[in-house]
Structure 1
């Protein structure tokens, strides 16, 4: 379990994932050697899974972002597995989540523009297997998007 110092390191890392280790150690109030040991331990225990890039898809020309919610026909025993396998093959699907409740899965999908979205919808989304119901939510704006937690 992370202690107070680990949490301080994590807060700094979440605030600035690109921070050099020397600056991270200074901000967290530990030596460089201590920081290295603590980061290594947090990676080994799975507290830190990965440090990754967050991409602004709009800056790469993907102006349309859609969240699709699906309810599957669960009479087929492999409905989830087959749906997920098919969704993974769609390059524009950036995220797949499963849920308990009235919605079984959610896909995040990006498209360059509305024409590209229509093509994706017709050729890739409508052909996903075992769909009983679906709902699309088109992103208009993002008000808050943080990865920080009150550590």
Structure 2
């Protein structure tokens, strides 16, 4: 699906996503119009899903991150849908993942401090529907966080 030029383009975009089209084209030895056509093709085929700003939530005053592993009541056929719909509405929930196995859902929750986390937990998390069990894991350090792919 991808040729060598596509891979080179993606590698450069991953390493320096803020590059302008003309700068990237020059680094790759392409004209800006040829690079633009290649990028459009990568978007159309779904390889490039979009570009976004990565905001450091710590710089905005959030100091606590907790990973919640949630088990749902699987006897209710709407449990997943209703839980996910409600969890999406909590602004401090940054990520929601679903799993097969004993744990059904993982929520990544941020808070300004522990009292703020307790407030979120008691007022919003515990009111989510169909929860049968929650395990909280306090994040201590992020050792590796990399969205770059081996291209």
Check whether TM > 0.5.
Answer: yes
Distance of 1:67 and 1:19 partners within structure 2? 34
Distance of 1:78 and 1:110 partners within structure 2? 27
Cα deviation, residue 27, structure 1: 2.4
Deviations 1:121-147 (A, max 9, x none): 000111111112111111111111111
Mapped pair 1:71 → 2:71: yes
How many corresponding residue pairs? 151
Corresponding position of 1:2 = 2
Q: Which runs of 5+ in 1 are unaligned?
A: none
Deviations 1:48-95 (A, max 9, x none): 001111111100001011111111111001000000011011111111
Deviations 1:10-66 (A, max 9, x none): 111111111111121122332211110010011111100011111111000010111
Alignment TM-score, normalising by the size of structure 1: 0.95
Mapped pair 1:114 → 2:133: no
Equivalent position SS for 1:122:
helix
Corresponding position of 1:86 = 86
Corresponding position of 1:21 = 21
Distance of 1:75 and 1:42 partners within structure 2? 43
